Amino acid sequence: MGALDYLSNFFTITTTVRKKRKAMQTVEIKVKMDCDGCERRVKNSVKSMKGVKTVEVNRKQSRVTVSGYVDRNRVLKRVKSTGKKAEFWPYIPQHLVYYPYAPGAYDKKAPAGYVRNVVQAFPAASSHAPEENFVSFFSDDNVNACSIM
């Protein structure tokens, strides 16, 4: 049986399990930093993680931006391990929101030009904004436009 076992090794299909590589992503985290020491501590803790390509710290906005092949929850956990209060970046630019003064969207603590990312600030997916309906009344594509005028 030695020869058959030897030959059977050439004809068997072996599968190697490969780890799925994480996708390149950018993680933004809000961290309260008061001084250069806080900034340096947060930056060094994240920079030492495996897969991190760049780390940008903006102390004025209390914002840390990490780019690389990392898991966003692990980055948040690493930042929290420094003893700082941290959360995912909750703000989006104000010009991307239809209703920036919706309840919960406007935040006094937000950096200039940003509002909180909440569902009420965006129109519902099934309904159109009322101003869009009025514009279509007098459109060249509307065959009933002459009857309205």
More confident residue, 6 or 83: 83
Question: Which pLDDT value is given to residue 118?
Answer: 77
Whether this model's pTM surpasses 0.85: no
Taking a C-beta distance cutoff of 8 angstroms, is the pair 78, 105 a contact? no
Encode pLDDT of 24-69 as tens digits: 899 999 999 989 999 999 999 999 999 999 999 999 989 999 999 9
More confident residue, 70 or 111: 70
The half-sphere exposure of 6 on its side-chain side, counting CA atoms within 13 A, is: 3
Residue 126, pLDDT above cutoff 60? no
